[in-house]
Amino acid sequence: MDETQLVEAQGKLDRLRRELGKVIVGQAQLIEETLIALLCGGHVLLEGAPGLGKTRLVRAIGQGLDLKFTRIQFTPDLMPADILGTHVLLTDAEGRERRITFQPGPIFAHLVLADEINRATPKSQSALLEAMQEGTVTTAGKTYPLEQPFFVLATQNPIEMEGTYPLPEAQIDRFFFKLLVKPPSKDELKAILERTTGEYDPVLTPVLRRDELLALQRAVRQVPIASHVLDFVVHLVEATHPSSPRATEEVKRYVRYGASPRGAQALVLAAKGRALLEGRFNASLDDVVRVAAPALRHRLILSFEAEADGVEPDRLIASLVDQARKEVAV
């Protein structure tokens, strides 16, 4: 990607932000981090209390991208076949010839909204594992590829709410980012009321086509990143493990398991994606720092003592980032 293409890509991404701004009030950081994940080809887990606009954000992204969009409403009685699809017996008009045909489920789309994913049982949640990691669906011994790009944007209510099932650690790790949706400010709430209780009904114009988005994803991987920045990422991820000599006393006390190599990959890719989003063709240390929390907060498995003491992953990550800045020559 040359400089002209970089400027053109940034212009389209800025247009997409403006289109999303027609529907979403505020939440600039949330929109930015979601776009970074999409540029990197990663899945996103949005967590927040009901009514904060999580589903609305995902729907707006589906309208702003010229992609096939589906929604799966997760409920306790949802079955894996309701997600992946099932085999059905078909007959001809005369009822003579019969054949078994696979009927694809809603997972066969470019952008899949998994709404309130933690309302479903772990059996149904795990139906997404292969699709999220491999980009394929296997049923009745046959594997079906999913057309790229393929994104899962899942929303979940806080796990302490009644009627929720915590996501398995293996599935949590397959989400590129975990984003926290916060309540709006006073001014933002007023703007929301003005938009949603009147006749205002925005129509979003698709900004990016499928081929353009795939090209941007390839461009992200071409963004260079300096060796010392990679050293910072390695140091940071190692320090999340309580058995590591780089672990702080807080990590040793409150963390059961640290971030996986997939977490380190997410840090590097997200830093590259943020650089491209801002029109830069190099990933800096500041890019890594800015994406550290969304890339790692769901990959730190905390102890019961941490829950009892009210320790949040973001606090530990901020402390580890400060330590890594001091110990790594940057």
- What average pLDDT does the chain have? 84
Preceding omega of 104 cis (within 30 degrees of 0) = no
CA–CA distance, 160 with 165 (Å, rounded to integer): 9
Which residues, in sequence order, are CB contacts of 39 under 8 Å at separation 6+?
216, 217, 220, 273, 276, 277
Task: Give the residue-averaged pLDDT of 28-35.
Answer: 86
* Residue of 214, 219, 233 whose CA lies nearest to 279: 219
Task: Give the residue-averaged pLDDT of 180-188.
Answer: 83
Higher pLDDT, 318 or 126: 318
pLDDT per position as a tens digit, 269-301? 999 999 988 888 889 999 999 999 999 999 998
Domain of 155, in residue numbers:
1-219
Q: Which of 192, 219, 246 is the last residue of a domain?
A: 219
Looking at the structure of the chain, the number of domains it has is 2
Indicate the pTM of the whole model: 0.86
CA–CA distance, 292 with 266 (Å, rounded to integer): 9
Query: How far from 50 is each of 54, 96, 155, 187, 313, CA to CA, in Å?
Result: 8, 51, 10, 20, 22
Same structural domain, 214 and 230: no
Q: Domain containing 236 — which CATH number?
A: 1.10.8.80
pLDDT value of residue 285: 93
Same structural domain, 203 and 228: no
